[in-house]
Amino acid sequence: MLNLAKAGLLSFTGLFYLWLGVVPSAWAFDSAKPIEPSLVLLNTYSGQEEVQGWLLSEKLDGVRAYWDGKHLMSRQGKRFVVPDWFTENFPPFELDGELWMGRGQFENTVSIVNQQQPHNGWQQLSYQIFEVPNQAGGLLERLGVLKMYLQVFPAPYLHIIEQTAVSGRDEVANHLKEMIAHGGEGLVLRDPNTPYYAGRSAKALKVKEKQDAECIVQGYTQGEGKYQGQVGALLCEIVAGQFPALRDSQRVVKLGSGLSDQERREPPPKGTLVTFQYMGLTKNGLPRFPVYWRIRSDKSW
């Protein structure tokens, strides 16, 4: 009787997917070896783009996570060790989003998802979806596939990030000001008519009060004054491709501001990927006023 019930459920599920026009995941695999998925990445909003009718959403301060239809993994393809109850009723097609606890909770989120055994800390998280990869149509149509799925198969920890149409640049600026005032990280702007793609394009933009980039720790300078005997600054090599105008000789940035006393005593080891913030570019294309932010840990898009 149980087997018949399961067969009936599978039959119903298959028909439901067919009716939805869902593209099943071709990505799901059982190998534990990390395979980095190809995902949507964001360019930076300059304030000059014509964005009337585009969709606006909050840029969540969480940990990027990709669901391949079977496993939840990082942007680098490393599987998260997730309790079964967290992924209960997740769909057999791809999802892309953020593991999120709330605004200002990035470090706590990282602590939860990096543990190597399933634990109840995952109850504090939700999986916030901003993309349904490789489905047909524009962004709202792709998200609509998941919305219809959840109406039949509720998944308590799965949520779709709200998308709001904007009238133009002034509205974007107002939304950003309000978001920052409430402790948010920033916004995401996307052209709703663009079919799914992987990589960066001018049709998906991050909107932030401060810009950020990644670099790799190569060495340290010695601290002076009250920081005598500690690290004065990190010497980091900017990850290639982020600032196309930079020559190789310009790719080392010094990050002193932003380091805590603890980080000066115990700095990120050489080879660590870290994130820094800056305020625009100089006339030579260098990031202006670079400030250390934090260790990169499968951070967002």
Which residues are identified as catalytic?
59
The single-letter code of the amino acid at 120 is N
Residue located via tokens 């669901």: 67
Q: How far is Cα of residue 223 from the mean position of the Cα atoms in its chain?
A: 34
CA angle, 255 as apex, 251 and 260 as ends, to 5°? 155
The single-letter code of the amino acid at 191 is D
Nearest-angstrom CA–CA distance, 52 and 36: 34
Does an H or E element contain 214, and which? strand 211-222
Q: What six digits make up the tokens of 252?
A: 């080392």
What is the side-by-side order of every strand in the sheet holding 126-131? 72-73, 63-67, 95-100, 126-131, 158-160
Q: What six digits make up the tokens of 18?
A: 């067919």
Q: What six digits make up the tokens of 105?
A: 């909770």
Question: Would you call 171 helix, strand, or coil by DSSP?
Answer: helix
